[in-house]
Amino acid sequence: MAKWYFEDFELGQRIALPPIRVSPEEIVAFAREYDPQPMHIDPEAAARGHFGGLIASGWHTAALMMRSLATWFREAEVQSLGSPGVKEMRWLTPLRPDVGYAGHFEVRELRRAASRPMGIVGQSTVFADPAGTEAFRVAGIGFFACRPEARA
């Protein structure tokens, strides 16, 4: 399979991402380490709380989005060079265990870097549950290598 370079992105392109699905054990394990609040680590307290059950830490959600992106990068040999940041992330509805969330990456902006053989891709990534309710939404930018023949 051919490698995916900056030149392979098109404005408005929508790319389906590998789905996100997380077990209650994974939610608790991540939160014990990084975000040990009751709604993330204690199913019984979470059931009594205002979220009505165990939910993933927002930072776990962000890491799971990264896993989905990184899986796509690997499967499609996308030549990612990392990211300087994220404009906005919104946790719209809680990420719950054992639910499959489908996501896509939409290309919003394409710009060739002036100083390096790479391009800057502005993107919007959204994941939603099977009913179509959006769980989270991210707007950010990523760096991607240019095709070798385009590097002159």
Partner 1 sequence: MNEVRYFEDWRPGEVLRFGRRTVTAAEIKAFAAEFDPQPFHLDDEAAKTSIFGGLVASGWHTAALLMQMLAQVKAFVGANVAAAGFDDLEWPVPVRPGDTLTAEVEVLECRASKSRPDRGLVRFRQQLLNQRGETVLRFTSPVLFWRRGRAPQAAAAGGA
Q: Which residues bind partner 1 (CB under 8 A)?
A: 30, 33-39, 42, 45-46, 48-51, 57-60, 62-64, 66-67, 70, 73-74, 80-91, 116, 136, 143
Q: Which is nearer to partner 1, 12 or 82 (CB)?
A: 82
Quick one: angle between helices 58-75 and 24-34, nearest 10?
110
Shortest Cβ 152–partner 1 spacing (Å): 19
Instruction: Give least dist CB 37 to partner 1, A.
Output: 5
- Locate tokens 């059950």: which residue? 53
Nearer to partner 1, 11 or 37 (CB): 37
In the bound complex, what is the minimum distance in angstroms from residue 58's beta carbon to partner 1?
A: 6
Q: Which is nearer to partner 1, 9 or 39 (CB)?
A: 39
Contact 128, 135 (CB under 8 A): yes
Helix (H, G, I), strand (E, B) or coil at 142: strand
Residue 117 corresponds to which amino acid?
A: P
Closest by CA to 51, choosing from 35, 39, 65, 38, is 39
